[in-house]
């Protein structure tokens, strides 16, 4: 049984983030990877393909479920798509059951990327290929590919949007801000935060930004389980403790669910609406942006991400090596995982109509 403690886990994430920083999120050319990952020899078209999704903590996961079900079916595979709303042990059991059913590929959106080592080893031993989906799998050799939007870039876009939004409202600082991060068990959360701090830290250092609570570290900013109620509670406490006589100009929020919780808290406190960032282009947040409440979100089209994951499965089925476009950035603590990274886009009220032009649901909200 592999054990992962917190410090090992955070070291791995730091390694991943440092690798990102060192390469400046550089894109490597597609090509053979040097880490021994090999293409499968191919397998029958009607094989079982497992998709292990985390909890339904944001709309993108719910969208992914039906896209995987439909896409795998259309491609001729037997898709087995599971959510693990009960938590890590449920996800471990689901992966074990996919192995028993002879899955040729297992796509994993992990709840906790460092807690699946035993199951991933069993899956590899049984001959399956493992694809980390959206969230990296940490501290294991047994992950073959990673497909995701560029998480560090997401953070940078959020940091920049926070600055731009505040400047548009009030041309000169200093600005009073608070910082929120995602769930510490999700490997993405630290990467988003570090991307944002890459833009914000210099502005904190030169006095343009004041984090009035003093809570600037990832550990202080985290939101356990990506839960709205946890963000709302923390915002309530921050407001009572620091903003009875001060204005709050902006809040860094890592996603839309938390952005709306933060706005609810601010509203309940009777404060004017600050600039609040987000991510995921959730329906309620796009409505809020169009109404002038939430300032920004990120467009990470789930359709494109699932399509790329399924393309990887098709390549593996045909005995081909899946295409990757980055074989430097994502060190999971054990190895650099060959990745296909998609490009995230910032969305504000100003560009929403253009950004969502090819999404019937979202574009209807921008009219
Ligand atoms: C995803 C985000 C999402 C968050 C909470 C992250 O791993 O990349 O898009 O908002 O999980 O579900």
Kind and range of the H or E run holding 355: helix 352-355
Place of tokens 């944001």: 58
pLDDT tens for 69-119 read: 999 999 999 999 999 999 999 999 999 999 999 999 999 999 999 999 999
179 near 209, Cβ under 8 Å? no
pLDDT tens for 166-178 read: 999 999 999 999 9
Predicted confidence at residue 136, as pLDDT, reads 98
For ligand 1, mutation pick of 58, 256, 302 (most atoms within 8 Å of CB)? 58
Predicted confidence at residue 100, as pLDDT, reads 97
* 186 ligand 1 Cβ < 6 A: yes
pLDDT tens for 155-214 read: 999 999 999 999 999 999 999 999 999 999 999 999 999 999 999 999 999 999 999 999
Token reading at 95? 């992966």
pLDDT tens for 313-343 read: 999 999 999 999 999 999 999 999 999 999 9
238 near 178, Cβ under 8 Å? yes
Grade residue 64 by pLDDT with cuts at 50, 70 and 90: very high
Mind listing the domains of the chain with CATH numbers? 3-143+301-342 (3.40.50.2300), 152-299 (3.40.50.2300)
**Atom number, ligand 1, closest to the C-alpha of residue 149:** 8
Say what percent of the chain tops pLDDT 70: 89
* 135 ligand 1 Cβ < 6 A: yes
Predicted confidence at residue 41, as pLDDT, reads 72
Chain-centre distance of CA 246, in angstroms?
Answer: 32
* 253 ligand 1 Cβ < 6 A: no
Q: How far is the CA of 254 from the centre of ligand 1 (A)?
A: 8
**Atom number, ligand 1, closest to the C-alpha of residue 188:** 7
pTM surpassing 0.85?
yes
* 279 ligand 1 Cβ < 6 A: yes
Grade residue 246 by pLDDT with cuts at 50, 70 and 90: very high
**Atom number, ligand 1, closest to the C-alpha of residue 61:** 12
Q: Which residues contact 92 (CB under 8 A, 6 or more apart)?
A: 115, 116, 118, 119
Token reading at 341? 């990274």
130 near 143, Cβ under 8 Å? yes
For ligand 1, mutation pick of 226, 284, 304 (most atoms within 8 Å of CB)? 226
* 226 ligand 1 Cβ < 6 A: yes
């Amino acid at each position: 049984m592999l054990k992962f403690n917190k410090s090992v886990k955070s070291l791995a994430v730091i390694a991943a983030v440092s690798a990102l920083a060192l390469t400046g999120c550089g894109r490597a050319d597609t090509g053979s990877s040097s880490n021994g990952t090999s293409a499968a020899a191919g397998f029958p078209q009607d094989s079982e393909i497992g998709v292990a999704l985390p909890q339904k903590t944001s709309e993108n996961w719910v969208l992914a479920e039906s896209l995987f079900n439909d896409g795998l079916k259309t491609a001729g595979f037997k898709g087995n798509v599971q959510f693990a709303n009960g938590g890590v042990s449920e996800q471990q059991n689901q992966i074990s059951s996919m192995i028993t059913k002879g899955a040729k590929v297992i796509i994993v959106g992990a709840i906790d990327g460092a807690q699946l080592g035993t199951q991933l080893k069993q899956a590899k031993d049984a001959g399956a290929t493992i694809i980390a989906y959206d969230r990296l799998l940490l501290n294991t050799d047994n992950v073959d590919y990673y497909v995701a939007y560029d998480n560090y870039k997401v953070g940078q876009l959020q940091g920049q949007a926070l600055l731009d939004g505040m400047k548009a409202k009030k041309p000169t600082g200093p600005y009073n801000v608070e910082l929120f991060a995602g769930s510490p068990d999700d490997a993405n959360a630290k990467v988003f935060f570090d991307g944002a701090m890459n833009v914000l830290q210099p502005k904190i250092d030169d006095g343009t930004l004041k984090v009035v609570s003093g809570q600037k570290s990832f550990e202080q900013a985290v939101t356990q389980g990506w839960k709205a109620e946890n963000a709302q509670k923390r915002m309530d406490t921050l407001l009572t403790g620091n903003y009875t006589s001060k204005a709050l100009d902006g809040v860094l929020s890592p996603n839309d669910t938390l952005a709306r919780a933060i706005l609810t808290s601010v509203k309940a406190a009777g404060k004017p609406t600050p600039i609040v960032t987000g991510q995921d282009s959730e329906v309620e947040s796009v409505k809020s942006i169009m109404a002038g409440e939430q300032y920004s979100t990120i467009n990470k089209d789930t359709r494109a991400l699932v399509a790329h994951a399924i393309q990887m499965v098709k390549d593996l089925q045909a005995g081909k090596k899946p295409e990757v476009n980055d074989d430097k950035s994502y060190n999971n603590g054990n190895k650099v995982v060959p990745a296909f990274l998609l490009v995230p886009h910032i969305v504000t009220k100003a560009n929403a109509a253009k950004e969502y032009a090819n999404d019937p649901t979202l574009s209807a909200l921008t009219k």
